[in-house]
Structure 1
């Protein structure tokens, strides 16, 4: 059997509506999909995902679960605090160009460890670019968002998460291949923040 995308999910608006509806099912404890081997087998010969969801590696944020999506419906890309690099941009481009996704959703989350580590590093006087290690790379990439919101206040982490989501969305929109698809109204790039406590996903304007 060749898996085909749901005929009702063919545009970016419909894809976004499906993810919003899936998040509601998740929050209200009425998921439609599970990790059923029969569903996995049904997609073995092909895939037509409607969205690519790009999020953090945090184990508390399983993207297929929080949007209640089944096998073959979304592509998932993840990195620490959804920091972009060439391989991730290439993967997102592939999902758009070759798999035909119509929505790219960037998902940050509250109490992100990488963002908190960046806030603490900057408060301690660390200079971006000073740490050549791999974790230092994440701090360097997150520092502009933290610096943009400022280091004062108890909600610095949360404001920095939202800022970083917005910056990631803007950066993806500026990728030439994606910008071309956006201009042709074939895809949308949208940002969101996941609440670990409630399960709700807030879609950002």
Structure 2
């Protein structure tokens, strides 16, 4: 690895460390950023996000708060269960290629409704047409979790979906310039922990 590539990799690792430090401030109740109208005005002329967060649509998971970031610091893409559909992947490709975002964090969370729906469908052995696309996309991690750890199926299914999403994104040619990591958010403690592949 040449010197400039090594320096770029260190910057991405520093960015990830900064996000985790922001999560510590969030958990301690000591946020640095107010995210008020003045902050919005300062960020209005242009954007230069340092990372992208691909997370769930769950209203309890707001990436800017969880990582204590201000306007313009994160590009946030959401789908239920962070299922990497075409629009989500296209959005991630856009922020990497057009905005130069070097880091993507796939952020799952406990008690995810989409994962819960998939677990229920697998247990009932029914592909309910009302559940549709999301249950279909989350069927594999839900089935694996129920088989491997029925008493801990929900947290395991969430972790498996994080790992699966990270692996999917790493295979994408248009995302090869970004570091992609998985993380899990605890609704109860507010803590973000990295998830091994």
Superposed pair shares fold, TM > 0.5: yes
Match of 1:172 among 159, 169, 172: 169
TM-score normalised by the chain length of structure 2: 0.90
Corresponding residue of 1:112 = 112
Task: Tell me the CA shift for residue 153 of structure 1.
Answer: 2.0
> Which secondary structure state, in structure 2, belongs to the residue aligned with residue 92 of structure 1?
helix
Q: Over residues 112-168 of structure 1, what are the superposed CA-to-partner deviations in whole Å (9 max), with x where a residue is unaligned? A: 1111111011101114xx62x5x4100000001112223452210110000000000
Q: 2:13 and 2:44 mapped to 1: Cα distance?
A: 27
Mapping 1:71-110, distance limit 5 Å: 71-110=71-110
Q: Does 1:144 align with 2:140?
A: yes
- Preserved contact between residue 26 and residue 68 of structure 2 (Cα < 8 Å): yes
Segments of 5+ residues of structure 2 without an aligned counterpart are 1-9
- Preserved contact between residue 145 and residue 154 of structure 2 (Cα < 8 Å): no
Corresponding residue of 1:17 = 17
Q: Does 1:188 align with 2:179?
A: yes
- Preserved contact between residue 192 and residue 201 of structure 1 (Cα < 8 Å): yes
Corresponding residue of 2:26 = 26
> Which secondary structure state, in structure 1, belongs to the residue aligned with residue 151 of structure 2?
coil
> Which secondary structure state, in structure 2, belongs to the residue aligned with residue 77 of structure 1?
strand
Q: 2:39 and 2:45 mapped to 1: Cα distance?
A: 12
- Preserved contact between residue 106 and residue 183 of structure 2 (Cα < 8 Å): yes
Corresponding residue of 1:201 = 192
- Preserved contact between residue 119 and residue 146 of structure 2 (Cα < 8 Å): no
Equivalent pairs counted in the alignment come to 186
Would you tell me which structure has more helix in proportion to its own residues?
Answer: 2
Segments of 5+ residues of structure 1 without an aligned counterpart are 1-9, 182-186
Q: 1:11 and 1:142 mapped to 2: Cα distance?
A: 34
> Which secondary structure state, in structure 2, belongs to the residue aligned with residue 107 of structure 1?
strand
Task: Tell me the CA shift for residue 204 of structure 1.
Answer: 1.2
Displaced runs of 4 or more, over 4 A: none
- Preserved contact between residue 15 and residue 102 of structure 1 (Cα < 8 Å): no
